[in-house]
Each structure stands twice: as C-alpha cells, then as structure tokens.
C-alpha cells in the first residue's frame, strides 16, 4: 500500500496531474468561450431575420397608415408578431391613436422602435412610431438549452485529450524527472556532493530527446545563417553607398576643377602674348587654386580607397601632439595666406599620443582645410591641445560662417554627404570629414563638432595618450 501511495505521489505523477489540470482548465475555458460565441452568432442571426421582415413590412405599414387602411396595418403587424420571440407590436399613430397586436407574457423584454415616415410631394411626413417587444431572455434560454449537448461533448473531449497528454508526459518525460530527483536526493544525503554530469543514457534515447537535439541544432544553424545574411546585407548597402559617392566625386567634384584647369591653360596658350602681367598673375592664382583642389581631392580619394580595401592598418607610435599640430598648420599656411586668415595654436610641449602619424596628419589637414574654406577673408583659425583623463583632445576652431547644430551632428556620418561652397567659392567633395571620422575610429578615438550659424565651428577629436613603457608598433 505504501509503495502504491509513493508511486502516485512521485514527482512524475504530480507533474502529470498538473499537466492534466492545466489542459482541463484551458479546455473548459475554450468550451465556455465557444458556447458564448455561438450564442452571440445565433442571436445575431435571429435579429437579421427580424430586420429583413421589418424592412419589408414597414413600407406597407406606412402606406396603409397614410391611406387609413387599418385592416392592412393589422395584417402587417400580425406578420411581424408571428416571428419567434416577438410578444407584442404597437403602432403609435399621430393623434395618440395606438394599434396593438399581441400581449406581454413576461416582464423581461426589449423595445425596438422604428419611425414611420411617408414621402409625399417630395416631403417626408412623419406618421408615427412602430414599437416591437422582443423577449431576449426566452431567446437566450432556448439557444443555451440547445447548446448544452454540444458543450457536454466538448467537455468530454477536453477531458480525454487532457488525460492523453498527461499520460504521454508521464511516460516520456516523467522518468527523466524521477531520475534527476533521485540523483539530487542521493547527493543531498551523501557526505560529499558529486557534480551533475548530463550524459546520453539508454533511457533517454527516445524520439522526444532526439527531436529536441535536432531542433536545437537547426535553430543554432538558422540563427547563424541569418546573422551572416544580415551582416552581408548591411555590407552590401554600405558598399553601394560608397560606390555611389565615389562615382559622384569622379563625375562632378573631380571633373569641375579639372575642367577649369584645362580651360585656364587653354586660354593661357591662346592669349599669352596679349595678356598683361596683372591678368597673367590672376590666371596663375586661379590655376594654383584649381591644382590645390585637385591635389587635395586625389589625396583623399587615395586614402579612402586604401581604407576601403583594408590596406590601412593603424600604427601605435609615440607621437608628440604639439609637433603634429604645428606641422599641419604650417602645411596650410599658403591656403590661409590667400584669404588673409590668421593661424595660431596653443599646446603643451610634453603631450604625446599613441597613434598613427599618417592618419592623424590626414585628419588635421582636412579639418584645417575646411576651417579655412568656410572662414571669410581676415578671419582666424585656432588649434589647441589639452589632456582629458587618459585622452588627448585636439580642437580646431574658426571664426567662419558656421552651420546649423543639426547639420553639425551629422557631419561625420558616412551615410550623409554634406558639402557646401566656401566663402570664396571653394568646392569640396564632402569626403574629408568622413575620412577623418574613419581614421579617428581606427585609432579608438572620438570626433565631434559644435557650431551655430554665424558663430564659427569648433571640431574636436580625442586620441589615446601615450603611457610610459607601452610597446610601439614594430
């Protein structure tokens, strides 16, 4: 007796009982909901039949009232009152006259009223109101009594299905729970705890465990393929944008300065003897500007091409930050001199960064070039360096035209192509800022801009400070 009691109170049987009760509860809820939905559908169907009868009878009642043929009115009301669950039909005619068919047998009913309107000489004449007394309580009782057998059959089916699921659970999973329970109990009673090692045993070699392993393996493989597909799709979109940008630069931004350079040289060749010294100087200045734009654009394109092909790997060298800033400003002096722009810097001498000299100089060159481009004649461009925690912050600020804060926030987003004409008509491809952002990211730094229209622009980027004893790139 104790063995039988222990068997039916084991963990496997308790779980089977819980499964049975859960499925039984769900089945009962489903049966009740199904019965209520069936009740609503039946009531809606009956109301539809009644509406059809009323839609056919009301025009006749209205016409008969207009011609005062009350016998036909009674006839139409009897046709409506014969319909099941309609206890009484009344017509409240103008002048307080009431025509009634049927009697009230119960207290529970609902009133449905319909206006009786007759069209005469293109005018609507209101003749009265038709009132129908419907016994909804009797309707619901009869429909429910007809659904009791259906509900009983549903309930029996639910009980059978719940019992079948509980039995299957007991024989397929219950033994696993019993094994794990006995294992834990044995280790709890023992003096030392032995680690639980899950192995495939003979009793586990059933269809459920094999199916579970196959499903898990399929899900992992499917997730891996979806991740690879998503990465490839994003990479393809990025390559398509880069290709579009590159073609735009080749077809427009590079063609324009080269075309201007060609036209100026052709003009010099044809009219050299007729040009005076002042005109020659002006044309040579324009040639120098066009050559500088082409050179800067080609430099950026070559750097960008090497970056996209994965040919650039950042070095980690000990670089003097102040010397880098000084060299970058010195390289841009001839650009600033043509617009009478003042260049000045402020930086500590004992500040070193761990970075790539070539990439850092490209970033500084582009930022200073942009500052000069958007600064009017007689303005100034300032560079400064400071230490912030374990980072070194470079700042290039100008007194130029500035831009909207929303535009400044998207300045270093490679998905955005932001380019505008400088204060002296200088043009750019818009890839200098994107190239700078990529080079800073490769060196594990950050870059951002702050600007307002008419108040200049302040561009900042950070690079990691060199730590003593840190190994440099070979």
d(CA 211, CA 215): 6
Q: 137: exposed, middle or buried (C-beta count within 10 Å: 0-12, 13-18, 19+)?
A: middle
pLDDT tens, residue by residue, 132-167: 888 878 787 777 777 777 777 777 777 777 777 767
Residue 329 pLDDT > 80: yes
Burial 315-334 (b: 16+ CB within 10 A, else e): bbeebbbbebbeebbeebee
Rounded mean pLDDT of 330-337? 83
pLDDT tens, residue by residue, 69-82: 888 888 888 888 88
Long-range pairs, 441-448, Cβ under 8 A, ≥24: 442/312, 442/314, 442/356, 442/359, 443/314, 443/355, 443/356, 443/359, 443/360, 445/355, 445/391, 447/363, 447/412, 448/412
In DSSP terms, 128 is beta-bridged to 93, 116
pLDDT tens, residue by residue, 197-231: 444 444 444 555 666 676 677 777 877 888 888 88
Phi, psi of 162 (to 5 degrees): -65, -40
Rounded mean pLDDT of 323-346? 89
Task: Pick 128 or 5 by higher pLDDT.
Answer: 128
Residue 105 pLDDT > 90: no
**DSSP secondary-structure letter at 281?**
H
pLDDT tens, residue by residue, 38-52: 777 888 888 888 888
Length of the chain: 474
pLDDT band, residue 3 (cuts 50/70/90): very low
pLDDT tens, residue by residue, 363-378: 998 899 889 989 999 9
Task: Please report the pLDDT score of residue 461 as a whole number.
Answer: 95
Domain with CATH 3.30.565.10 in the chain: 315-469
Other C-beta atoms lying within 10 Å of the C-beta of residue 99: 17
The two beta strands, 380-388 and 342-346, are parallel
pLDDT band, residue 192 (cuts 50/70/90): very low
Other C-beta atoms lying within 10 Å of the C-beta of residue 215: 10
The CA-based angle 134-140-141, given to 5 degrees, is 115
Rounded mean pLDDT of 237-266? 64
The CA-based angle 384-390-396, given to 5 degrees, is 20
> How are strands ordered across the β-sheet holding 123-134?
97-102, 86-93, 123-134, 110-120
Task: Please report the pLDDT score of residue 447 as a whole number.
Answer: 94
Residue 7 pLDDT > 60: no
Residue 170 pLDDT > 70: no
Q: What percent of the chain has pLDDT over 70?
A: 72
Task: Please report the pLDDT score of residue 185 as a whole number.
Answer: 58
d(CA 306, CA 281): 37
Question: Domain 315-469's class?
Answer: alpha beta
Rounded mean pLDDT of 249-256? 56
Q: What percent of the chain has pLDDT over 90?
A: 15
Task: Please report the pLDDT score of residue 419 as a whole number.
Answer: 65
Rounded mean pLDDT of 79-93? 84
Task: Please report the pLDDT score of residue 153 as a whole number.
Answer: 77
Mean pLDDT in the chain?
77
Task: Please report the pLDDT score of residue 397 as a whole number.
Answer: 95
Residue 314 pLDDT > 80: yes
d(CA 63, CA 72): 10
């Amino acid at each position: 007796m104790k063995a039988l009691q222990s068997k039916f109170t084991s963990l496997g049987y308790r779980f089977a009982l819980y499964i049975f009760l859960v499925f039984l509860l769900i089945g009962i809820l489903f049966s009740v909901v199904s019965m209520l939905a069936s009740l609503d559908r039946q009531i809606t169907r009956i109301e539809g039949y009644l509406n059809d009868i009323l839609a056919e009878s009301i025009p006749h009642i209205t016409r008969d009232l207009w011609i005062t043929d009350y016998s036909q009115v009674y006839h139409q009301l009897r046709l409506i009152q014969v319909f099941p669950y309609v206890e009484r039909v009344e017509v409240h005619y103008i002048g307080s006259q009431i025509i009634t068919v049927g009697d009230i047998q119960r207290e529970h009913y609902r009133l449905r009223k319909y206006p009786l309107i007759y069209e005469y000489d293109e005018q609507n004449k209101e003749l009265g109101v038709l009132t129908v007394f419907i016994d909804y309580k009797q309707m619901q009782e009869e429909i429910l009594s007809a659904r009791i057998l259906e509900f009983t059959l549903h309930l029996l089916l639910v009980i059978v299905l719940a019992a079948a699921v509980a039995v299957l659970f007991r024989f397929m999973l219950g033994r696993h729970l019993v094994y794990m329970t006995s294992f834990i109990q044995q280790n709890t009673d023992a003096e030392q705890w032995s680690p639980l090692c899950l192995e495939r045993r003979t009793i586990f070699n059933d269809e459920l465990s094999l199916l579970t392993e196959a499903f898990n393996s399929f899900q992992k493989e499917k997730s891996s393929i979806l991740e690879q597909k998503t990465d490839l799709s994003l990479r393809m979109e990025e390559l398509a944008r880069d290709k579009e940008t590159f073609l735009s630069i080749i077809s427009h931004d590079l063609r324009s300065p080269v075309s201007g350079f060609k036209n100026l040289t052709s003009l010099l060749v044809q009219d050299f003897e007729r040009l005076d010294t002042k005109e020659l100087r002006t044309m040579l200045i324009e040639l120098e500007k066009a050559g500088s734009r082409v050179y800067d654009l080609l430099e950026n394109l070559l750097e960008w091409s090497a970056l996209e092909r994965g040919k650039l790997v950042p070095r980690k060298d000990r670089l003097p930050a102040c010397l880098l800033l000084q060299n970058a400003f010195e390289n841009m002096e001839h650009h600033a001199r043509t617009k009478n722009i003042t260049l000045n810097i402020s930086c500590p001498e004992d500040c070193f960064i761990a970075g790539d000299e070539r990439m850092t100089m490209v970033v500084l060159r582009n930022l200073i070039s942009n500052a000069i481009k958007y600064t009017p004649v007689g303005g100034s461009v300032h560079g400064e360096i400071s230490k912030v925690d374990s980072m070194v912050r470079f700042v290039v600020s100008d007194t130029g035209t500035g831009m909207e804060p929303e535009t400044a926030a998207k300045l270093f987003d490679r998905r955005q192509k932001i380019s505008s004409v400088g204060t002296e008509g200088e043009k750019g491809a818009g890839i200098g800022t994107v190239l700078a952002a990529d080079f800073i990211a490769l060196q594990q730094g950050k870059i951002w801009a702050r600007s307002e229209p008419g108040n200049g622009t302040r561009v900042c980027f950070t690079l990691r400070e060199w730590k003593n004893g840190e190994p440099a790139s070979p």
